[in-house]
Structure 1
Amino acid sequence: MYSQPNILLITSDQQHWNTIGAFQPEISTPNLDRLVREGTMFERAYCPNPTCTPSRASIITGMYPSQHGAWTLGTKLLEDRHTVGEDFSAAGYKTTLIGKAHFQPLKSTPEYESKEAYPVLQDLEYWRKFHGPFYGFDHVELARNHTNEAHVGQHYALWLEENGCTNWRQYFLPPTGTMNPKQTYKWPIPERYHYNAWIAERTNARLEEHNKTGVPFFLWASFFDPHPEYLAPEPWDTMYDPEELTIPALVPGEHDRNPPHFGMTQEENPDFSEWMETGFGIHGYRSHHYYEYGGKERLTEYDKKKLVAVYYGMISLMDKYIGSILDKLDELGLAENTLVVFTTDHGHFFGQHGLQAKGGFHYEDLIKLPFIVRYPGRVPAGRKSSAIQSLVDLAPTFLSFCGLPIPPAMAGVNQKDVWLGSRESARDHAICEFRHEPTTIHQKTYVDDRYKITVYYNQTYGEIFDLKEDPGELRNLWSEPGYEGLKSELLLKYVWAELGKEPMPMPRIHHA
């Protein structure tokens, strides 16, 4: 007999799906491997958008970016949107978010105010007093920086000072700090002051509080790594030998059949000006021979290897602190009645298809996710499943496990029976959206058990990949002779999927 379960969501940021040691022998992740042994690994999980704000907003709303409105970076999730934390709070749960939110942009305007914007971002007295409510979370402890970014502040900076790191600014970039922007790979910050340590310590403190009160909880531990810049403290920056790793690379000619922005990324000085509408930066539309982060520095052959080594080191460091959270669950006797989900907000390129970081390229590397579910005695242990998952499914599934009603406006599907192993699948496809400009960068991808199709707004080009015969996604079938029937079939299935994901805010209650 099980009481109402606790929910612990653990996420990374921008983690490639194939970076878990249980399935990838070149990387060490003993604690994620432990979750794999003790739970179910879902091999076909997808993000609803391959950038942070839209995907994270989908996690807490159960809606697609085109529905909840936070459609790209630099937008915000409007405060009138319903979130799953509100449902848990109404049911008597305590709701907490520790780490990265990124529901709001770095700039605030009178019409669209942002708590994650300058200057309030670094008003430490403000954050000393503010812990919520925030998007359905009763209690939040937040930060906004990836590695040494100048955006450091909020509760993380307070924690640094409270723990004796009064010189914390030297580990972060100007104008906030004094770290040399040219320094890469090795982050001089001591590990005990790394934000992984902060997230784990504060998550564990909340677990101890919940254990004392006995009140059920919905807790999101939201890690920042392995999002670039590629930086890790000693000894994690040198944990992996770059010469011993498999380094992905462009296959010559693979972009010849792709939409134009693919091939342009391999040019020295491509002109993407016709794609720019808002005047703000557009992720991925650049030469991928250079760093996207930390200034325009050309990627040498050494860099292409070393960045992978440090990326893996960042994941292994994060894994250590995920382990401390799992250990705390065991120590407190909470593990048996806590549903744990580990995943990420979207994937990452580190050389695949000649690409780095992220952008408008819906390869599996970017939109597929690591996704593990553990609930002892209920979710099968040591199992791998090919059932398709989406991050929009998290909110309704969490509510279902806790016996709470699912708001009809949520577009995600309830995966409870799939997670329990009593049903083979709950969806036959996933949809991923990428709208980075109002009209010029606006695409959607439909992916099912075998095929993937990507369509672009106002464009006649697109992509079709056969994931069974071409798992590396090297042969775009969109314009290939002999595949016209497949193209028509997939376009129809995509339209059906779009129609099917339209939410119904209420049931029909009368004939007129």
Structure 2
Amino acid sequence: MKPDIIFLMTDQQRWDCIGLYNPAIKTPNIDKLAESGIVYNQAVCQAPMCVPSRSSMMLGLYPSQLGVRTNHGGLYDEDKLPADPLPELMRKAGYQTAGFGKTHWNHGHRNPVPPTRGFEVRSVGLSRESGHYEDGAVMMGDHDPEGLRAYGEETALYGSGEENALGYMGRTSGIPMEQHRDGWVAGQCLNFLDGGIDPDRPLFLYLSFLKPHAGFNVPQEFEDLYRLEDIPDIPQPPWEDEEGTHLSATDGVNTGSRRMYLERREAWEAMSPLERRRTTLRYYANCSWLDHYFGLVMESLERQGRLDNALIVFLSDHGEMLGERRYRFSKYCLYDSSVRVPLILSGSVIPGDKRGTVDERQAELIDLVPTLSKIAGLPRNPILPGLDLLGERKRRGTFSEFHGKGAEGLHSAPCYMWRKRDWKLIIYLSGTIEDAIERVDEAHGELYNLRTDPQEWYNVYTEAEYQPVREQLKTELLLHLASVWSRGPFFYDRHGYASLG
């Protein structure tokens, strides 16, 4: 039988917020996956926010190929999908497909009966009216309305996305864990594992939580795992204001986002250093809480022998700034704390000599579709730009794109990132997309030596001694995009896909 595929996902978990990279964080179950698998320590997402990152990951195409560039986007029409999404691929490969938790397709906003896109079993920890209902899905708002109401009351002052200053300050939660949306989702998953697995088919299990994304209303027992005195301070740059970067350019376009940043900054500057650590502590505690649920799921699968022949994936959709760069929170930028992600492949299908190793290849989340398709015995889709993470082919660098927050008015002019182990290039235009074509001669850039400046505080883009590096990275970025765009997502040739190799 084909191996089971266990897909474990968090939302907004920094690449360095697992025990492997940060001994202050308690994630024993994720650490076990790392010890018996491959850690891809250079992995990045393709856009630093939920909807474009997840759409890109689930279809294996870059955000600009899909046209989903911000959280206000989405692929709404099923007949216009450029490729099968991952759960549909798994279903076609003969897998029982069970999905628990967040997908953030956004297709419920324009489709009264949005499909599950391949999931045969589906539970979502939100209300039917949230815009995230999928046809036939069990919704927390229907199944446990009192629990969802209690959660909503506890986070009522946390603002949009639970990301205002109060949401990041958080609190010790006063409601039971099962009344949290992630607690309910974990319960639905565990109930399914106890009696819903089809013994005659391989299993594709997708478990995707909403945290450690703010708000930071954390169950007591996980907050108690940490002492405030042991939490590190978040290092701050030597400058007071962000100037001459793609982030400052975006601030100039999106006034609402800028206003929220200033509100958070004012709140954090009024705190003592010890008080600021409370937010970091609660973020760590959220990571530990979800790790606890992953452990329960793995124990259930192991009892049933479903890990004897399995590939286990752990990842997050993007990172979290967590107060860096003068008290920036959330993600919306191309710096490493936002675009780098934890990515682990583990399980019995990993060759013995690869277990417990770190792979420094330039990995991207779009690599998951070709990797899992091969595991499932599916043919390669030649229009997809991703590579098999267990194969020999490797790219020269990693790509991510950013088009502003997209919450108001016109999109920001595009920002593109090309990242290698030691260097990062960011190319951007100020202003909006409206007249960007006329202003390409006004392009700006950022260049960071990640080896000597991992915080990305010192932009050396204009320094003469780094001109060869800058021009080499520009050339690689240009030709990477040229190679990708030439493949699709739509490709018409007399010879079909044969011309793509």
Is the aligned partner of 1:488 residue 2:471? yes
| Change in CA separation of 1:377 and 1:167 when aligned onto 2, cut-off 3 Å | closer
Selected match of 1:384 from 351, 354, 358: 358
Contact 1:35 1:374 in 2 (8 A): yes
* Paired residues for 1:349-364 under 5 Å: 349-364=321-336
1:334, CA displacement in angstroms?
A: 0.5
Partners of 1:168 and 1:184 lie apart in 2 by: 13
Is the aligned partner of 1:191 residue 2:177? yes
What corresponds to 1:275 in structure 2? 253
What corresponds to 2:263 in structure 1? 290
What corresponds to 2:385 in structure 1? 411
| 1:257-300 Cα deviation digits (max 9, x unpaired) | 742744x99xxxxxx4x514xx9x54xx34645339xx988762
Q: Secondary structure at the match of 1:340?
A: strand
| Change in CA separation of 1:133 and 1:94 when aligned onto 2, cut-off 3 Å | farther
What corresponds to 1:308 in structure 2? 280
1:207, CA displacement in angstroms?
A: 3.3
What corresponds to 2:116 in structure 1? 134
- Amino acid across the alignment from 1:47: C
Selected match of 1:36 from 31, 34, 49: 34
Q: Quick check: 150-159 or 211-220, which moved more?
A: 150-159
What corresponds to 1:75 in structure 2? 73
- Amino acid across the alignment from 1:449: R
- Amino acid across the alignment from 1:17: W
What corresponds to 1:65 in structure 2? 63
What corresponds to 2:11 in structure 1? 13
Partners of 1:161 and 1:387 lie apart in 2 by: 45
Contact 1:75 1:104 in 2 (8 A): yes
| Change in CA separation of 1:299 and 1:35 when aligned onto 2, cut-off 3 Å | farther
- Amino acid across the alignment from 2:223: D
Aligned length: 461
Selected match of 1:347 from 297, 315, 319: 319
1:249, CA displacement in angstroms?
A: 2.6
1:170, CA displacement in angstroms?
A: 4.2
Selected match of 2:144 from 131, 136, 160: 160
Contact 2:104 2:132 in 1 (8 A): no
Partners of 2:176 and 2:205 lie apart in 1 by: 27
- Amino acid across the alignment from 1:5: P
Percentage of identical aligned residues = 25
Is the aligned partner of 1:450 residue 2:432? no
Partners of 1:460 and 1:114 lie apart in 2 by: 42
Q: Secondary structure at the match of 1:393?
A: helix
| 1:164-213 Cα deviation digits (max 9, x unpaired) | 8886664452899xx9x799322211123333332222223333456443
- Amino acid across the alignment from 2:467: E
Q: Secondary structure at the match of 1:135?
A: coil
1:464, CA displacement in angstroms?
A: 0.8
- Amino acid across the alignment from 1:138: E
Contact 2:11 2:212 in 1 (8 A): yes
Q: Secondary structure at the match of 1:431?
A: strand
Is the aligned partner of 1:213 residue 2:184? no
| Change in CA separation of 1:365 and 1:168 when aligned onto 2, cut-off 3 Å | closer
Contact 1:18 1:24 in 2 (8 A): yes
| Change in CA separation of 1:64 and 1:481 when aligned onto 2, cut-off 3 Å | same
1:411, CA displacement in angstroms?
A: 2.3
Q: Secondary structure at the match of 1:335?
A: coil
| Change in CA separation of 1:406 and 1:204 when aligned onto 2, cut-off 3 Å | farther
What corresponds to 2:433 in structure 1? none
1:219, CA displacement in angstroms?
A: 1.9
| Change in CA separation of 1:105 and 1:171 when aligned onto 2, cut-off 3 Å | farther
Q: Secondary structure at the match of 2:457?
A: coil
Structure having the higher helix fraction is 2
What TM-score does the superposition give when structure 2 sets the normalisation length? 0.82
| 1:366-398 Cα deviation digits (max 9, x unpaired) | 111111111215342211121121111111110
Unpaired stretches in structure 2, ≥5 consecutive residues: 430-439
What corresponds to 1:127 in structure 2? none
Selected match of 1:468 from 433, 446, 451: 451
| Change in CA separation of 1:350 and 1:381 when aligned onto 2, cut-off 3 Å | same
| 1:94-133 Cα deviation digits (max 9, x unpaired) | 2222111211078x3xxx3377xxxxxxxxxxxxxxxx74
Contact 2:48 2:319 in 1 (8 A): yes
Selected match of 1:47 from 34, 45, 48: 45
Give RMSD over aligned pairs.
3.3
Is the aligned partner of 1:230 residue 2:229? no
Is the aligned partner of 1:259 residue 2:245? yes
- Amino acid across the alignment from 1:492: T
Contact 1:400 1:416 in 2 (8 A): no
Contact 1:15 1:227 in 2 (8 A): yes
What corresponds to 1:399 in structure 2? 373
Contact 2:312 2:346 in 1 (8 A): yes
